């Protein structure tokens, strides 16, 4: 397995690194993005940890290609803010329409270039969905009719089986969000597209663990890793 570091928007003020892990054999393409919102720290740390595990060969991609953008919005991340404008409303809304921001345009072009079968967008949100149906904390979101939905249901079952505290259980939401990266990947590129939302109120290490476990379940669903990979014990560190 090979891991390559590349730069998105090289030379622009918003440039940000991304990584491609390539397996020994051809196979599915999976894209993981985090930090479209700059203050959703657990999702960013989980993406960074994923990169580190791949670099250290502690997580092996048996086949296919995994593209990871750990911090999409560097400017928002530095200030620990959601970002202005909200980048997740600036992705293309139709095939003919361009993204309304150079950064989301670059992320969408990268997605388009690699044509991923799976697109995972990591976020964090308020509340706990198990206690309040109106909040998005502890949810997996996809679009109605998206081919990812059966795998999302299986992932939620697997996650909840391992979470003793029922208040922290995950729930499914089906939602169209025009201008979001998930809806663009789903509707324009036909990807199996999922947004992961951990709940802010939980301890950070728990949220990072949930994010990583969810990504791992989807990598298995995509046929990219074998079921017995053990990597969650590795220490969390920022990517340099």
* Interface contacts to Zn ion, rule CB under 5 A: 37, 40, 123
Rounded to 10°, the helix 149-162/204-221 angle is 140
Where would I find the H helices in the chain? 41-55, 74-79, 102-114, 149-162, 181-187, 204-221
Give the distance, in angstroms, between the CA of residue 157 and the centroid of all CA atoms in the same chain. Answer: 19
Q: What is the closest distance, in whole angstroms, from the C-beta atom of residue 207 to Zn ion in the complex? A: 13
Sheet of strand 139-142, all strands in order from the earlier edge strand to the far edge? 2-8, 16-22, 63-69, 25-34, 118-125, 192-199, 139-142, 171-174
Where would I find the H helices in 1-101? 41-55, 74-79
Q: What is the closest distance, in whole angstroms, from the C-beta atom of residue 36 to Zn ion in the complex? A: 6
Question: Do 102 and 110 contact (CB within 8 A), yes or no?
Answer: no
Residue at token pair 């960013």:
44
Q: What is the closest distance, in whole angstroms, from the C-beta atom of residue 195 to Zn ion in the complex? A: 8
For the chain, report the end-to-end CA distance as a whole number of angstroms. 20
Q: Which is nearer to Zn ion, 33 or 110 (CB)?
A: 33
Q: What is the closest distance, in whole angstroms, from the C-beta atom of residue 191 to Zn ion in the complex? A: 18
Q: What is the closest distance, in whole angstroms, from the C-beta atom of residue 21 to Zn ion in the complex? A: 24
Q: Which is nearer to Zn ion, 89 or 169 (CB)?
A: 89
DSSP code of 58? S
Q: What is the closest distance, in whole angstroms, from the C-beta atom of residue 123 to Zn ion in the complex? A: 3
Q: Which is nearer to Zn ion, 105 or 177 (CB)?
A: 177
């Amino acid at each position: 397995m090979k891991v390559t570091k590349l730069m998105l928007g090289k030379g622009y003020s918003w440039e940000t690194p991304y990584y491609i892990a390539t397996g020994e054999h051809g196979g599915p393409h999976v894209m993981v993005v985090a930090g479209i919102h700059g203050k959703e720290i657990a999702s960013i740390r989980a993406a960074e940890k994923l990169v580190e595990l791949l670099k250290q060969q502690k997580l092996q991609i048996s086949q296919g290609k995994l593209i990871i953008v750990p911090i999409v919005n560097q400017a928002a991340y530095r200030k620990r803010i959601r970002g202005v404008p909200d980048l997740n409303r600036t992705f293309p809304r139709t095939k003919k329409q361009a993204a309304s921001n150079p950064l989301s345009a670059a992320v969408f072009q990268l997605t388009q270039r690699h044509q991923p079968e799976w697109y995972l967008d990591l976020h964090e949100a308020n509340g706990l969905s198990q206690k309040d149906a109106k909040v998005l904390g502890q949810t997996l979101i996809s679009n109605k009719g998206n081919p990812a939905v059966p795998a999302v249901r299986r992932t939620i079952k697997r996650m909840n089986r391992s979470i003793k505290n029922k208040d922290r259980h995950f729930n499914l939401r089906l939602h169209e969000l025009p201008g979001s990266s998930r809806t663009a990947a789903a509707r324009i590129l036909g990807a199996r597209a999922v947004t992961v939302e951990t709940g802010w109120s939980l301890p950070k290490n728990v949220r990072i663990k949930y994010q990583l476990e969810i990504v791992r379940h989807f990598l298995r669903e995509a046929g990219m890793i074998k079921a017995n990979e053990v990597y969650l014990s590795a220490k969390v560190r920022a990517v340099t």
